C-alpha cells in the first residue's frame, strides 16, 4: 500500500473513517462487555482505575510503560518462545518525517496513538494501520536549534477521551481522541529560554504531569501538573534553586541553595526533568529523574564545589501538591552530563529474604540503583557495565566513590567511561516479574573530558563548559582505530536482587533500542544496525530477527485485538547519537532514517518496499586558501556551534546534511545559510548574533580542511 493510498485526501473521509472505526470499537467493546470490567464509551476512555487494573485487560497498552509501575512487561503470551519464529509483518505505516523516532505507542480498544519527530500525533487502526486522524502542532522549524538531541518525541498519554502531547516548543496540548481536534493548549515554558519537550506526559489523578529539557542551554529544571480537563496549572516543582536574592519557592530549595556556589542561577542551574516520571498509586507519590547541572563542568557552574541539589537525582513528590518527600542524588556535583532521567521502574522485590517496595533505575552513570521507594534509602548500586569514573557506591554514605580520573583537572583529556551518551539513556528498559530480570540496552562508549582554558556562555551554542576540541575524534588513523574499537553496545538481562548480569548479548555498537518483555518468555529489542529482534527472556537465546531497513531506538509494545496478539515498534534512526557522534555513530554499520510504524503478528505476510540504493560519490579535494590559524579557529567554532547536529569533526551520522559534501562550500550560499538563516524553516537558524562573517569563513575553511583530509584517506 502506498502512502497516498493509505492517507485519506479529504477531511470528510477522515471523519467518516473516524466514525466507522469508533463504531467498530464500540461494537467490539460491547461484545466483550460481559468480561470487561468497564465498557469503554468513547475512544481512549482511560482512567485511573483502568490503568491500575491494566492486567485485567492485557490487550491494551494504556500508558507509557503499560502500567504505572513502568515495567513494560506484558502478560500476553499468544506469541511466545515456542512460536515467535513465525512472527511476520502485519502492517506498516510510513511517516512524513525523516528524523529520529523515539515514541512508545499507546493502544486502547483497537486504536493506536503515537507521536513522530516534530511532535506530530497519529491515530491508526491497531489491526490494519488505517489512518483515523493525524495532528500536526506545527512546531516552528527554527525551534530545532534549541534541542540538544534531535526533534524527537517519546509519546502521548491517553485519558478520558483525550490524547495529550508535549511539543518540542514547550506546549502541552489536549486532543479529542475521536477526531484529533485540539481541545486545549497551554504553554508550559518561558519561550525566552531554550526549553524543549521530548518526553511523554504521564497522567495520574486527572493531572497531566510534564517536564522539559534544556540542561545544555541554560534553563532551570521543573516539572508541572496540569488539570487534564481544563489545562490549568495545578502545581509546579522546581528542581534547582533560583536567584537567591528572591524568596525561594520552598524550604527544600532554600536548603538546596546551600549546596551551590557562585552565580549558578544566571545559567538556570539545569536539573531538567526530560524523561522519567513515574506514579506510585500505593504510596500516592510521584518519582521524577533530574538531569545534569548547567554547564556540565561544575568548575564553571558552582566554583566552590557542592552537591548542587537536586541535579542528577531521583526525587519523590506528593502527587496532589507536588511537595517534596525525599530525594536520592546519584551524582553529587556532576561533571559529566550523567543525567538521572532514565526510566524509573517500580516493583516489589525480595532482597536478602525481605520483601521490599523498590524503585529501580539504570541511569547514564553506569550503576544500577535499587532504592526503597518508601523513603529513598539506597538498597544497592552496582555497575551494570564497565565504568571508570567511580570504583563503587558506598552503602554507608550512599555516595559514589570517585576515582582520580573523575574530575578531569589535568592539561590532558581524561578518558572517562561512560561519556555523556550514558551507559544507558532514554531507551526504555523493561522488567519481568516472571524472570525477575531487568533488560537494559547498554552503551559502552567513553568520552575525553578536559576543562577549557576559559568559558563564556553563549545563547546559540550548547554550554558544556568543557574543551570541545579535545573531545573530537583524532584523525590519526591508528589512534582513531583504537578509539573506535572501544565503542560497543549490549543487551543485558540484569538481576536487581543479586546485582549481576544473568545473560548478555554483545552488539557491534551503542544506541540500540528500548526493550519489551512478555509472559511468552520473550524480550524484544530493535538495534542500531537496523533489525528488530526477539530473545528468550530467561536465557538470552536469539529466536527471531526482522530486517527493519533503519536503526530502531524506540520502546516496543504488544497488544491484542480480536483475539490476535500484535507487537509494534516505531522505527527511524536519529536522536543525539547519529547527530553528534560523527564517525562513532557508524559502529553498528551505516543505516539511514526510514521512519515508519512496524507491526507484527504470527503468520503476518506483509513486506516492506525495497530500499532505494543511494551511492555516495567519493569525496574530492577542494582548494583551501585559509591559513592553519584560521582553520584551527574554525575547528573550535565548529565543535562548539555545529557539531551537536552536523557531527563531531564534521562527519554527519547520516540523518542531517554532511557539511563536507555541502555545495555551499564553494559559494556565498554558505554565508546566506549560516548568517542570514536561508534554511531556517528546516531548523538551521541564523547564527549572525553569535558569529561574524570571519567566523563563518573560518568554519568553512575547517570543513574544507576535513573534507580534504577524508578525501585523501579514502584514496589510500
Ligand atoms: Ca543532559
* 679 occurs within a structural domain: yes
Which candidate in 69, 307, 337, 343 is catalytic? 337
CB contact at 8 A, 645 and 679: no
Q: 336 CA distance to ligand 1 centroid (A)?
A: 9
Looking at the structure of the chain, the number of domains it has is 1
Number of separate helices (H) and strands (E) present in the chain:
11, 37
Joined grid coordinates for residue 562: 480480536
Does residue 642 form part of some domain? yes
Q: Is 337 assigned a catalytic role?
A: yes
Domain enclosing residue 652, as ranges: 628-715
With respect to residue 386, please indicate whether it lies within any of the assigned structural domains: no
Can you give the pLDDT at residue 612? 83
- 695 assigned to some structural domain: yes
Is beta strand 515-518 parallel, antiparallel or unpaired with respect to 73-74?
parallel
Residue-wise pLDDT for 595-609, tens only, equals 999 999 999 999 999
**Looking at the predicted structure, is the pLDDT value of residue 32 above 50?**
no
> Ligand 1: distance of its center to the CA of 291 in Å?
6
Q: Could you tell me if residue 495 is inside a domain?
A: no
> What's the gap in Å between 190 CA and the centre of ligand 1?
19
| Residue 682, pLDDT score | 84
Averaged pLDDT for residues 393-422: 96
Q: Is residue 299 part of a domain?
A: no
Which grid cell sits at 13? 473521509
pTM over 0.85: yes
Spacing, Cα 273 to ligand 1 middle (Å): 10
Tell me the pLDDT tens digit for each residue of 310-329: 999 999 999 999 999 999 99
What CATH number did the domain enclosing 638 receive? Answer: 1.10.760.10
Q: How far is the CA of 216 from the centre of ligand 1 (A)?
A: 6
- Mean local confidence (pLDDT), 407-415: 92
End-to-end CA distance of the chain: 45
Contacts of 611 (CB under 8 A, 6+ apart): 549, 592, 594
Is residue 709 situated within a structural domain? yes
DSSP for 351-412, written as a single string: ETTEEEEEEEE--TTSEEEEEETTTTEEEEEEESS---SEEEE-TTT--EEE-TTTT--SSS
**pLDDT at residue 684 greater than cutoff 70:** yes
**Residue 28, pLDDT above cutoff 70:** no
In this structure, are residues 581 and 551 in contact, taking their beta carbons and an 8 Å threshold?
Answer: no
The answer on pLDDT for 368 being more than 60 is yes
Q: Is the pLDDT of residue 351 over 70?
A: yes
Q: What is the DSSP letter of 197?
A: -
The CA 545 to ligand 1 mean position distance, Å, reads: 32
pLDDT band at 458 (very low <50, low <70, confident <90, very high): confident
Interval between CA 334 and ligand 1 midpoint (Å): 11
- pLDDT tens for 638-679 read 999 999 999 999 999 989 989 999 999 999 999 999 999 999
Q: Is 295 helix (H, G, I), strand (E, B) or coil?
A: coil
| Residue 659 placed within a domain | yes
Amino acid at each position: 500500500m502506498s502512502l497516498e493510498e493509505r492517507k485519506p485526501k479529504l477531511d470528510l473521509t477522515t471523519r467518516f473513517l473516524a466514525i466507522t472505526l469508533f463504531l467498530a470499537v464500540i461494537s467490539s467493546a460491547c461484545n466483550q462487555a460481559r468480561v470487561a470490567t468497564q465498557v469503554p464509551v468513547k475512544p481512549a476512555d482511560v482512567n485511573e482505575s483502568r490503568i491500575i487494573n491494566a492486567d485485567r485487560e492485557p490487550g491494551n497498552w494504556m500508558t507509557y510503560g503499560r502500567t504505572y509501575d513502568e515495567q513494560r512487561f506484558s502478560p500476553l503470551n499468544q506469541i511466545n518462545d515456542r512460536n515467535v519464529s513465525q512472527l511476520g509483518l502485519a502492517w506498516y505505516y510510513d511517516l512524513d518525517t525523516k528524523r529520529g523516532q523515539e515514541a512508545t505507542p499507546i493502544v486502547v480498544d483497537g486504536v493506536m496513538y503515537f507521536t513522530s519527530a516534530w511532535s506530530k500525533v497519529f491515530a491508526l487502526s491497531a489491526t490494519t494501520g488505517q489512518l483515523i486522524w493525524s495532528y500536526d502542532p506545527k512546531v516552528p522549524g527554527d525551534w530545532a536549534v534549541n534541542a540538544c538531541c534531535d526533534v524527537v518525541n517519546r509519546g502521548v498519554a491517553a485519558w478520558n477521551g483525550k490524547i495529550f502531547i508535549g511539543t518540542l516548543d514547550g506546549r502541552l496540548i489536549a486532543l479529542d481522541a475521536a477526531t484529533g481536534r485540539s481541545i486545549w493548549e497551554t504553554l508550559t515554558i518561558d519561550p525566552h529560554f531554550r526549553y524543549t519537550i521530548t518526553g511523554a506526559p504521564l497522567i495520574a489523578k486527572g493531572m497531566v504531569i510534564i517536564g522539559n529539557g534544556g540542561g545544555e542551554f541554560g534553563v532551570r529544571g521543573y516539572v508541572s501538573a496540569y488539570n487534564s480537563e481544563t489545562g490549568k496549572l495545578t502545581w509546579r516543582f522546581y528542581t534547582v534553586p533560583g536567584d537567591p536574592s528572591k524568596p525561594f519557592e520552598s524550604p527544600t530549595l532554600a536548603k538546596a541553595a546551600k549546596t551551590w556556589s557562585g552565580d549558578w542561577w544566571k545559567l538556570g542551574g539545569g536539573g531538567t526533568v526530560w524523561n522519567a516520571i513515574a506514579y506510585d498509586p500505593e504510596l500516592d507519590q510521584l518519582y521524577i529523574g533530574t538531569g545534569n547541572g548547567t554547564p556540565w563542568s561544575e568548575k564553571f557552574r558552582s566554583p566552590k564545589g557542592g552537591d548542587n541539589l537536586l541535579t542528577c537525582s531521583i526525587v519523590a513528590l506528593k502527587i496532589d501538591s507536588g511537595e517534596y518527600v525525599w530525594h536520592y542524588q546519584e551524582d553529587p556535583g556532576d561533571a559529566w552530563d550523567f543525567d538521572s532521567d532514565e526510566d524509573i521502574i517500580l516493583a516489589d522485590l525480595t532482597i536478602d529474604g525481605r520483601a521490599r517496595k523498590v524503585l529501580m533505575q539504570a541511569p547514564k552513570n553506569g550503576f544500577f540503583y535499587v532504592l526503597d521507594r518508601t523513603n529513598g534509602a539506597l538498597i544497592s548500586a552496582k555497575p551494570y557495565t564497565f565504568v571508570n569514573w567511580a570504583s563503587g557506591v558506598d552503602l554507608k554514605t550512599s555516595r559514589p566513590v570517585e576515582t582520580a580520573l573523575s574530575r578531569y583537572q589535568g592539561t590532558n583529556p581524561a578518558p572517562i567511561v561512560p561519556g555523556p551518551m550514558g551507559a544507558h539513556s532514554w531507551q526504555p528498559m523493561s522488567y519481568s516479574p516472571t524472570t525477575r530480570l531487568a533488560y537494559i540496552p547498554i552503551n559502552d562508549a567513553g568520552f575525553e573530558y578536559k576543562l577549557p582554558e576559559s568559558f563564556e556562555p553563549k545563547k546559540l551554542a550548547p554550554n558544556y563548559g568543557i574543551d570541545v576540541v579535545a573531545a573530537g575524534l583524532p584523525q590519526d588513523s591508528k589512534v582513531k582505530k583504537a578509539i573506535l574499537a572501544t565503542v560497543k553496545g549490549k543487551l543485558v538481562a540484569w538481576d536487581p536482587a543479586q546485582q549481576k548480569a544473568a545473560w548478555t548479548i554483545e552488539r557491534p555498537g551503542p544506541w540500540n533500542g528500548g526493550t519489551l518483555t512478555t509472559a511468552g518468555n520473550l524480550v524484544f529489542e530493535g538495534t542500531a544496525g537496523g533489525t528488530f529482534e526477539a530473545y528468550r527472556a530467561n536465557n538470552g537465546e536469539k529466536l527471531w530477527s526482522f530486517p527493519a531497513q533503519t536503526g530502531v531506538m524506540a520502546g516496543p509494545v504488544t497488544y491484542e485485538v480480536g483475539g490476535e496478539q500484535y507487537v509494534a515498534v516505531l522505527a527511524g534512526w536519529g536522536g543525539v547519537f547519529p547527530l553528534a557522534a560523527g564517525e562513532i555513530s557508524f559502529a553498528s554499520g551505516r543505516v539511514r532514517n526510514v521512519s515508519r510504524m512496524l507491526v507484527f503478528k504470527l503468520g503476518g505476510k506483509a513486506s516492506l518496499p525495497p530500499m532505494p540504493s543511494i551511492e555516495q560519490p567519493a569525496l574530492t579535494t577542494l582548494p583551501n586558501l585559509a591559513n592553519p590559524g584560521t582553520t584551527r579557529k574554525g575547528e573550535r567554532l565548529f565543535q562548539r556551534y555545529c557539531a551537536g547536529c552536523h557531527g563531531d569533526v564534521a562527519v554527519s551520522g547520516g540523518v542531517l546534511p554532511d557539511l563536507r559534501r555541502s555545495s555551499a562550500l564553494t559559494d556565498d550560499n554558505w554565508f546566506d545559510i549560516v548568517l542570514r538563516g536561508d534554511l531556517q524553516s528546516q531548523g538551521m537558524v541564523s547564527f549572525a548574533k553569535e558569529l561574524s562573517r570571519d567566523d563563518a569563513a573560518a568554519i568553512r575553511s575547517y570543513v574544507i580542511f576535513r573534507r580534504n583530509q577524508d578525501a585523501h584517506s579514502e584514496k589510500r
